[in-house]
Amino acid sequence: MSKDGQTSKLWGGRFSEATDSFVQRFTASVTFDQRMAMEDIRGSLAHAAMLCKVGVLSGEELAQIEEGLAQVRGEIERGEFQWSVELEDVHMNIEARLTQLIGITGKKLHTGRSRNDQVATDIRLYLRGACDAIGTELTRLQSGVVSLAAQHSDTIMPGFTHLQTAQPVTFGHHLLAWNEMLERDHGRLLDCRARMNQSPLGAAALAGTTYPIDRAHTAAALDFERPTENSLDSVSDRDFAIEFCAFGALLLTHLSRMSEELVIWTSAQFKFIDLPDRFCTGSSIMPQKKNPDVPELVRGKVGRVNGHLVALLTLMKSQPLAYNKDNQEDKEPLFDTVDTVLDCLRAFADMVPAIQPRQAEMREAARSGFSTATDLADYLVRKGLPFRDAHEVVGKAVGHGVAHDCDLAEMDLDTLRGFSDLIGEDVYDVLTLEGSVAARNHLGGTAPQQVLAAAERARQRLQAR
């Protein structure tokens, strides 16, 4: 305590009066940045080891710091650490406790660094670890998608455009379209991680330090690829946080699109799939209801993450170099994006392998929507009719089917020949659903053998991660 009874600040030498109690609470970040405590301790250990290497700290002082920080870590892990809003943030809380434990040597730890480069380092360490955890969950989700796709390489369902029946596809093919979205997300995650994997430690407040530090040493100790190049940019850059939130927004956009399809498919009007009860809830008034709450909630989360991305873009848009207090506002949206992305991925990774397709309903929906109309047009083209003429012929045949409530495959040969004398007995080979999907036998097509091959390629990519 200081002479006036106020808690002593680690930076208080220049000030002649205590911080206003409201301002103290308003400017503090420890309530949310304490989640970076382990990263802060790790960064401090690397910094202390470097200071010893260059002769700023003695071996005995380094040992004291390492022992003290180990005790602080244990207190935090056991939930015994007393966090103080008066000490503002995670960094000053840990340093103050270290000084309580080991005395004046604890005050030497901050030599050659600033909270500016300290927090920049901690955020990168934290977010790098979050990227790795997210990558694991994303791979788990993709593995479930790919496995389910392989199981249903020949399960026929309608493919849609404008949410209208278009052409038959297989359920496995549709699931592999999901995987392509997720594969791009994984690539963006890796790119984001690679760009953030540079160490700002040693940039100090904004201009570097007069001490003979070895930034390459601390970068290597913290598993960074290399130190950052410019001290001004090092302490003020938050591109990596924005890029991560952009990744999160795109990933959640993809999960939201998948959620929309799951919600539609589980409805009584479609009945394409069943979700196990553990991923659904009921109604307090309607006993028959089984609501797909997990995909509905994931669908809603995209707005939250999009908002965080806009918040960070707005936060940085007018900041002059170098560090500004504004940057304290980067953490809560970033942390919530991490939590939201991880939770949504976990929910989907658990749920997707448990999806139960209702194959009979899917097939009937594909059969009843004239989904093989394009196949009939292609058939006529192969017989020599120009495509535009074939398109008109098939349109008339579909009109007849609508009027008489029958599918193309249900019309007899004489009826079909009434629309074109090029049609023969072999037309029924292309009008079946199985014939339609099997005919699209090329890379990226919906033919069952292509779906199996694509699923195998996807599985091998996932195993190679």
- Segment 252-292, tens digit of pLDDT: 999 999 999 999 999 999 999 999 989 888 878 887 888 99
- What does DSSP assign to residue 8? P
Q: Give yes or no for residue 2 having a pLDDT over 80.
A: no
Diameter of the chain measured on Cα atoms: 105
172, two tokens:
């496995």
Q: Give yes or no for residue 417 having a pLDDT over 50.
A: yes
Q: Check residue 266 and give its pLDDT.
A: 96
Q: Check residue 211 and give its pLDDT.
A: 97
Angstrom distances, CA of residue 159 to CA of 46, 134, 415: 56, 31, 27
Q: Check residue 20 and give its pLDDT.
A: 72
Among 76-85, 92-101, 281-290, 303-312, where is mean pLDDT lowest?
Answer: 281-290
Angstrom distances, CA of residue 447 to CA of 155, 179, 297, 420, 444: 11, 17, 34, 28, 9
Would you tell me the crossing angle of helices 239-266 and 293-316 to the nearest 10 degrees? 160
Classified as helix, coil or strand, 361 is helix
Q: How many Å apart are CA 439 and CA 287, to the nearest integer?
A: 45
The percent of residues in the chain predicted with pLDDT above 90, rounded, is 86
Q: How many Å apart are CA 194 and CA 197, to the nearest integer?
A: 5
Using 50, 70 and 90 to split pLDDT, how confident is the model at 5? very low
Confirm whether 162 is a catalytic residue.
Answer: yes
Q: Give yes or no for residue 17 having a pLDDT over 70.
A: no
- Amino acid making up residue 399: G
Would you tell me the crossing angle of helices 331-351 and 115-151 to the nearest 10 degrees? 20
Q: Check residue 1 and give its pLDDT.
A: 37
* 369-463 to CATH, choices 1.10.40.30, 1.10.3210.10, 3.40.50.1370, 1.10.1270.20: 1.10.40.30
* Mean per-residue pLDDT, 326-337: 96
Q: Check residue 22 and give its pLDDT.
A: 78
Q: Where in the chain are the domains?
A: 12-111, 116-363, 369-463
Q: Give yes or no for residue 192 having a pLDDT over 60.
A: yes
Nearest to 218 by CA among 36, 50, 39: 50
Q: Check residue 281 and give its pLDDT.
A: 85
Using 50, 70 and 90 to split pLDDT, how confident is the model at 115? very high
Is residue 450 within 8 A of residue 443, CB to CB? The reply is yes
- What does DSSP assign to residue 285? S
* Mean per-residue pLDDT, 179-186: 98
Would you tell me the crossing angle of helices 293-316 and 331-351 to the nearest 10 degrees? 160
Classified as helix, coil or strand, 446 is coil
Using 50, 70 and 90 to split pLDDT, how confident is the model at 182? very high
Nearest to 89 by CA among 49, 7, 34: 34
398, two tokens:
């579909």
* In the block, residue with structure tokens 């308003």: 26
Q: Give yes or no for residue 4 having a pLDDT over 70.
A: no
Q: Check residue 288 and give its pLDDT.
A: 83
Among 19-28, 160-169, 304-313, where is mean pLDDT lowest?
Answer: 19-28
Which CATH superfamily is 116-363 part of? Fumarase/aspartase (Central domain) (1.20.200.10)
Rg of the chain taking only CA atoms, in angstroms: 31
258, two tokens:
């998948």
Q: What is the pTM of this model?
A: 0.91
Q: Give yes or no for residue 402 having a pLDDT over 70.
A: yes
- Amino acid making up residue 313: L
Is residue 263 within 8 A of residue 299, CB to CB? The reply is yes
Confirm whether 283 is a catalytic residue.
Answer: yes
* In the block, residue with structure tokens 């500004």: 324
The backbone torsions φ and ψ at residue 9, rounded to the nearest 5 degrees and listed phi first, read: -90, 145
162, 284, 318, 442: the active-site residue: 162
Q: Check residue 304 and give its pLDDT.
A: 96
Q: Give yes or no for residue 35 having a pLDDT over 60.
A: yes
21, 267, 283, 368: the active-site residue: 283
Q: Check residue 12 and give its pLDDT.
A: 56
Q: Give yes or no for residue 311 having a pLDDT over 70.
A: yes
Q: How many Å apart are CA 357 and CA 360, to the nearest integer?
A: 9
407, two tokens:
């599918």
* 12-111 to CATH, choices 1.20.1560.10, 3.40.605.10, 1.10.275.10, 3.40.50.2000: 1.10.275.10
Which residue did the predictor score with more confidence, 15 or 111?
111
CA-angle at 342, arms to 339 and 348, nearest 5°: 135
* In the block, residue with structure tokens 């103290």: 24
Q: Give yes or no for residue 137 having a pLDDT over 90.
A: yes
Q: Check residue 19 and give its pLDDT.
A: 64
